[in-house]
Amino acid sequence: MKRAIYPGSFDPLTLGHIDMIERSSKIVDELVIGVLHNSAKNSLFSLDERVSMIEEMTKSIPNVTVGSFDGLLVDYMKEIDATIIIRGLRAVTDFEYELQIAQTNHVENPDVETVFLTTNLQYSYLSSTIVKEFASYGGDISKFVPSRFVDRIYAKYNISK
Ligand code: ADP
């Protein structure tokens, strides 16, 4: 049984993340979405909010579950008995950083393999950071995130549309 983890901040979950979740859930037996609780990083949504937003959007995919972790990914993977890391590659700019992390994780635990999925062309420009930047100025984010999240994101910036 191949259990994989798709780790990230998901602050907030975007249509690019959802595309990755749908595609990767088809190539592994079980997919755990690992939401990073990074207390040093100021997140727009709390950990609980991020987890429940992902749960809302993935409840119809039977082999996907959502968890959260703090600290080293490889330690969390041991805890949940996962051996595959799924990451997305959008552009060459992602590559160098992702390569370093993948190699480090493999050194930390040689049983761990990282699998990269190339981004869907449609979402290759999309990141949570861009969504936050647009939303903070009242820009249209309806093409970037699930429609049910649009107002929740604006509300974080005290914007009502
Ligand atoms: P992190 O802070 O770990 O980069 P993110 O939530 O920004 O967390 O991203 C989680 C994962 O999703 C990363 O592997 C990232 O490359 C991937 N990802 C983010 N946006 C997209 C997208 N538009 N298309 C494909 N993969 C994406």
Alpha-carbon torsion, ordered 147, 89, 122, 62, to 10 deg: -50
**Ligand 1, pocket-test mutation among 20, 38, 97, most atoms within 8 A of CB:** 20
| Burial of 96 per CB tally in 10 Å (0-12, 13-18, 19+) | exposed
In tens, the pLDDT along 102-161 reads: 999 999 999 999 999 999 999 999 999 999 999 999 999 999 999 999 999 999 999 987
Helices (H), the chain: 15-25, 47-58, 73-80, 92-108, 128-136, 150-156
Provide the pLDDT for residue 76. 98
List, by residue number, the catalytic residues.
17, 41, 90, 128
97 by DSSP, 3-state: which?
Answer: helix
Provide the pLDDT for residue 41. 74
CA distance 122 to 112: 30
8 Å CB contact between 21 and 64: yes
pLDDT at 55 over 80: yes
Q: Mean pLDDT over residues 45-73, rounded?
A: 97
Provide the pLDDT for residue 116. 96
For 33-64, letters b (16+ CB in 10 Å) and e give: bbbbbeeeeebbbebeebbebbeebbeeeeeb
Provide the pLDDT for residue 160. 87
Place of tokens 């390569």: 99
In tens, the pLDDT along 7-52 reads: 999 999 999 999 999 999 999 999 999 999 987 778 999 999 999 9
- Cβ 35 under 6 angstroms from ligand 1: no
Provide the pLDDT for residue 23. 97
Provide the pLDDT for residue 93. 83
Provide the pLDDT for residue 45. 97
- Cβ 43 under 6 angstroms from ligand 1: no
Nearest CA to ligand 1 atom 1: 8
CA distance 87 to 116: 5
Q: Which atom of ligand 1 is nearest to the CA of 15?
A: 23
In tens, the pLDDT along 79-101 reads: 999 999 999 999 888 899 999 99
pLDDT at 66 over 90: yes
